[in-house]
Amino acid sequence: MDRYCVVGNPIEHSLSPQIHQEFAAQTDQALVYEKAHVELGGFAQFLQEFVASGGRGLNITVPFKVDAFQLATQRHGLANIANAVNTLSIDGDNVIGYNTDGVGFVRDLDQRHGFQLQGKSVLILGAGGACRGIVEPLLSGNPSQVTIANRTLANAQALRDLFVGRHGYERIEAVGVDTLTEDGHSHYDLVVNSTSQGLSSEAIELPVFLARGAFCYDMSYGAKAKFALWAEAHGALVSVDGLGMLVEQAAESFKIWRGVRPDTEEIYQRLKKQIGAEL
């Protein structure tokens, strides 16, 4: 039976096995999907052993997306743009890297939550790997302006430089988070949190005007989606977490591996209730 796995550190609370097992049942696919905790520095050995054992595919989460990018023998377009891989498809010794994060993000934003990017102003908080994965699909929606805000301005500038000129699109800017003041910036239609703020116990310290009247999207989900809770408490028009993105990017991975895209709404609603009951 074909074997698949999600790899990360930490990984204990991953919902991916549940999601993919439900996808398999829905589409009548015979497969096994597991999760693996890999120590830092141990991903290359894990991948080698997984390939040698006949494994067919991996989902990659923090902190191994760059390792997966470097070790892939081929890379699909969005993975090259993001310089990060969250999905590996294995065919013999051929290990193909994909990045389904951005497609999952835009699909959730558009089809589930009804937010249209066309002509909208967008603020992305953070300039790390999570941000890299969503910028290209986001720009494809033709927003009027995209601003990347990061504590370290140089990192935001490097990411802006990577994307300036793509699609003939140059309305992308980089700023330091400390410059986000109500006097200095206009209202944003969409504010996306791609940082790991929800993983720490620190309180969120952002200007309240960012949330007020905006569609706020936290790429974390469940108890980690502290930005979503903060935004809701500070006047967001809509505030959602990244559970839908998780489900949609998983469906993209499943399609790569099995050639069929499962329906996502039923599992999304079930997980939403499950997570709510656990909080």
Please enumerate in sequence order all residues whose Cβ is within 8 A of that of 239, keeping only pairs 6 or more positions apart, or say none: 211, 215, 216, 218, 228, 229, 231, 232
- What are 96's strand-pairing partners? 74, 89
Does 106 share its domain with 237? yes
| CATH classification of the domain holding 148 | 3.40.50.720
Does 83 share its domain with 109? no
Tens-place pLDDT, residues 246-267: 999 999 999 999 999 999 999 9
Does 62 share its domain with 78? yes
Does 45 share its domain with 68? yes
Tens-place pLDDT, residues 199-231: 565 778 899 999 999 999 999 998 889 999 999
What pLDDT score was predicted for residue 38? 97
Longest dimension (CA), the chain: 60
Domain encompassing residue 90: 2-99+244-278
Residue 65 has pLDDT above 80, yes or no: yes
Does 43 share its domain with 110? no
Does 10 share its domain with 40? yes
Per-residue pLDDT band for 77 (boundaries 50, 70, 90) equals confident
Does 122 share its domain with 196? yes
Are 221 and 250 contacting, i.e. CB atoms less than 8 angstroms apart?
Answer: no
- Give me the number of domains the chain comprises: 2
The answer to whether residue 224 is catalytic is no
| CATH classification of the domain holding 15 | 3.40.50.10860
Does 176 share its domain with 264? no
Does 237 share its domain with 108? yes
The residue from 35, 65, 120, 255 that is catalytic is: 65
Token representation of residue 51:
């390939």
Does 28 share its domain with 42? yes
Residue 183 has pLDDT above 80, yes or no: no
Are 245 and 219 contacting, i.e. CB atoms less than 8 angstroms apart?
Answer: yes
Q: Which of 76, 74, 100 is nearest to 86 (CA)?
A: 100
What pLDDT score was predicted for residue 235? 96
What pLDDT score was predicted for residue 130? 84
Does 128 share its domain with 184? yes
Does 112 share its domain with 87? no
Distance between first and last Cα of the chain: 36
